[in-house]
Amino acid sequence: MKAAWEGIVAIATGFATTLKHLFRKPITEEYPEYKRVLPERARAVIILTRDPDGEERCVACYLCSAACPVSCISMQSVEREDGRRYARWFRINFGRCIYCGLCEEACPTSAIQLTPYFETCERDILKLVYEKEDLLVDHGGKDKEYNFYRYAGVVSKVGDKGAHIKEDKPVNIKSNMP
Ligand code: SF4
Ligand code: SF4
């Protein structure tokens, strides 16, 4: 008798829950009619940003490529006459990318950044291979102020070591000897 009563209570509780939800406002978001605004830190399509001077931030150091767990970043580095490096070509295969963000973490110049934009579905998988022209934008992305080249990277004929902005004087290793 006790078991039968417990069964009735369990069924009644289940139906009560169903009934309660029948009169609730649905919370389903009808994509693509409704598009939720994703937070800035959301990880989707990758861009290559520029510094505040409008120069390409990427110095083609290959760190993002080395950090990428699925090897979907490739490039070729070249050097300008003033010693500044850049990528002659830069390619990301979004057909392989898992949007982990490790490339962004590894980048010393804040060049490569993930954005919240995710609508890149393609029937032809080769269209997911993005070249530098597709990736390069004309702004600084999430980090608008950072300018790697104000501190390092260019061969300079002005001033001695330690004379540049926020640069420490070179250490005299002999002075550290006991
Ligand atoms: S987000 Fe991850 S998988 Fe995609 S390119 Fe960057 S490191 Fe590679
Ligand atoms: S995007 Fe960043 S990590 Fe990748 S090659 Fe350019 S500077 Fe190096």
How does pLDDT run across 40-94, given as a tens digit for each residue?
A: 999 999 999 999 999 999 999 999 999 999 999 999 999 998 878 999 999 999 9
Note whether residue 141 is domain-resident: yes
Q: Is 149 in the pocket of ligand 2 (CB under 6 A)?
A: no
Note whether residue 39 is domain-resident: no
Q: How many domains does the chain have?
A: 1
Report the residue among 55, 61, 68 best suited for mutation to probe ligand 2: largest number of ligand atoms under 8 A from its CB: 61
pTM of the shown model? 0.77
77 close to 88: Cβ distance less than 8 angstroms: yes
Q: Which helix (H) or strand (E) holds 47?
A: strand 46-48
Note whether residue 74 is domain-resident: yes
pLDDT of residue 175: 79
Note whether residue 2 is domain-resident: no
Note whether residue 87 is domain-resident: yes
Instruction: Find the ligand nearest to 59 CA.
Output: 2
Report how far residue 135's alpha carbon sits from residue 150's, in angstroms, rounded to the nearest whole number: 24
Assign residue 85 the CATH number of its domain: 3.30.70.3270
CA of 59 to the centre of ligand 2 (A): 6
| Domain of residue 71, residue span | 51-151
